[in-house]
Amino acid sequence: MLDIKFVRENPEAVKENIKKKFQDEKLPLVDQVIALDSQNRAAIAEAQELRTQRNALSKQVGVLMGQAKKDPSKLQEAEEAKAKVKANADRLAELETLETELAGQIRHIMLQIPNIIDPSVPIGPDDSCNVEVQRFGEPVVPDFEIPYHTQIMESFDGIDMDAAGRVSGNGFYYLMGDIARLHEAVLAYARDFMINKGFTFCVPPFMIHGNVVEGVMSQTEMDAMMYKIEGEDLYLIGTSEHSMIGKFIDQIIPEDKLPQTLTSYSPCFRKEKGAHGIEERGVYRIHQFEKQEMVVVCKPEDSMKWYEQMWRYSVELFRSMDIPVRQLECCSGDLADLKVKSCDIEAWSPRQQKYFEVCSCSNLGDAQARRLKMRVKGEKGTYLPHTLNNTVVAPPRMLIAFLENNLQADGTVKIPAVLQPYMGGKEVLVPKKA
């Protein structure tokens, strides 16, 4: 969410930013919110003047009532002053109600106006305009056929989607045996990887209040993603970033406590609306999964440095597991409204002979901090911090890339050295059936 003062002073820049995000339907919101802000500031000024008058009139009434005891002719003047006090009180009550209504309308609109994107963001309407920046590792297409990822898992008796369908419906799964162990090994390795980078490990709440949801994401994202607990002001998290950033709601952080660098484990729950192609079946796009996340709260001047560092952590992690990846810069139309800049890390799929998303790194500027009323107290006063987040690893989707890139011609799957301690020393997984 932008600062209303910025919108008031830079309306054309805000409109140009909306155009760059291909959201022209939001252009009228800028003039609407400026008009409402003008009304609100006028109401605040009038209310303040009335409070000043009230104080003066109240003193005058007291003086006149005292004088009236000795001089009855002063009684009429005292009653007139009382009437003015009453009229001022009634008008002040109206103005206070109006201020509340206008503030609510202003916030509702401000939540819809997108954040100002970084000048380096490529301009385009959707993800087809995202730009490949660089590749890490050589993508290889083996000389043997690579089965669909659920077929690979089934060869290890590692997945049961039929039973999950009977129990929970589409979009759920049972992971079993070596595949389930591999799933947990990747999460444990990712946890320790980030701890070794100096991040503090955290297991956050898996449900959050509605005001936290509003603070960390746009209404569009919320409607598309979040599951609400019926009858309660609680939502299941779609990613642990939501509760990790929410941890700082209404808090003043001492400047010497920055940066806050946290890595968190959580299950994640998503509606995942819409139809998807064959390669997004199986465990690619599902309603429930587990994830290791990284979150940074820092000084504004440090956020781009952290952004660069965070996506590179993802690259380092995937390359340590022999998975080729690339960095893809997200274009303006593919950025969620709160984001200043974002990139995806995509893993190579030998089966599809293309890359697919496994991590998403985002700099949200001060948008979440403003929504959540997070502040930093420094030597020169208080200010809003910047917030960033990035996926460390999100199996089971990540397992697709892992299994395809480590599959051998005989159906075995090699275990990279970094994962072997988490797999009981196993160097290779041997299928139970062809």
Examine the pLDDT at 215 and tell me if it is beyond 90.
yes
Examine the pLDDT at 369 and tell me if it is beyond 60.
yes
Any domain includes 117: no
Both 43 and 143 in a single domain? no
Any domain includes 298: yes
How many helices and strands (H and E) does the chain possess? 13, 18
Any domain includes 120: no
Both 103 and 147 in a single domain? no
Both 47 and 131 in a single domain? no
Band of residue 89 on the pLDDT scale cut at 50, 70, 90: confident
Mean pLDDT across 140-153? 94
CATH number, residue 18: 1.10.287.40
Both 250 and 344 in a single domain? yes
Both 333 and 411 in a single domain? yes
Structure tokens at 45: 């000024």
Any domain includes 118: no
Band of residue 62 on the pLDDT scale cut at 50, 70, 90: low
Both 132 and 44 in a single domain? no
* End residue of a domain, out of 110, 143, 172: 110
* End residue of a domain, out of 54, 84, 110: 110
Instruction: Report the distance separating Cα 284 and Cα 392, nearest Å.
Output: 17
Both 157 and 89 in a single domain? no
Any domain includes 121: no
Q: Contact at 8 Å (CB) between 390 and 313?
A: yes
Q: Decide which of 71 and 289 is more confident.
A: 289
- pLDDT, position 2: 95
Strand spans (E) along 163-287: 174-175, 200-202, 207-208, 227-228, 235-236, 252-254, 260-269
Any domain includes 434: no
| Residues constituting the chain | 434
Examine the pLDDT at 57 and tell me if it is beyond 80.
no
- pLDDT, position 275: 40
Both 208 and 333 in a single domain? yes
Mean pLDDT across 189-205? 98
Both 143 and 31 in a single domain? no
pLDDT, the chain, mean? 92
- pLDDT, position 265: 96
- Domain of residue 380: give its range: 127-429
Residues above pLDDT 70, as percent of the chain: 91
- pLDDT, position 383: 97
- pLDDT, position 70: 58
- pLDDT, position 387: 98
* End residue of a domain, out of 51, 76, 110: 110
Cβ-based neighbours of 183, under 8 Å, separated by 6 or more: 175, 290, 395, 396, 399
Band of residue 71 on the pLDDT scale cut at 50, 70, 90: low
In this structure, of 38-52, 129-143, 174-188, the range with the lowest mean pLDDT score is 38-52
Band of residue 53 on the pLDDT scale cut at 50, 70, 90: confident
Both 203 and 249 in a single domain? yes
Q: Decide which of 196 and 221 is more confident.
A: 196
Structure tokens at 81: 């002053």
- pLDDT, position 224: 81
In this structure, of 76-85, 96-105, 171-180, 281-290, the range with the lowest mean pLDDT score is 76-85
Both 70 and 205 in a single domain? no
Any domain includes 116: no
- pLDDT, position 283: 84
Examine the pLDDT at 341 and tell me if it is beyond 90.
yes
Band of residue 210 on the pLDDT scale cut at 50, 70, 90: very high
Examine the pLDDT at 279 and tell me if it is beyond 60.
no
CATH number, residue 229: 3.30.930.10
Examine the pLDDT at 396 and tell me if it is beyond 90.
no
The reported pTM is: 0.89
Band of residue 274 on the pLDDT scale cut at 50, 70, 90: very low
In this structure, of 169-173, 241-245, 356-360, the range with the lowest mean pLDDT score is 169-173
Residue among 268, 286, 258, 220 nearest 388 (CA): 258
- pLDDT, position 26: 97
Both 65 and 209 in a single domain? no
Mean pLDDT across 101-109? 96
Examine the pLDDT at 184 and tell me if it is beyond 50.
yes
Q: Can you tell me whether residue 290 is helix, strand or coil?
A: strand
How confident is the model over 299-326, as pLDDT tens digits? 999 999 999 999 999 999 999 999 999 9
Tally of structural domains, the chain? 2
Q: Give the gyration radius of the chain's Cα atoms.
A: 29
In this structure, of 116-130, 210-224, 389-403, the range with the lowest mean pLDDT score is 210-224
Any domain includes 302: yes
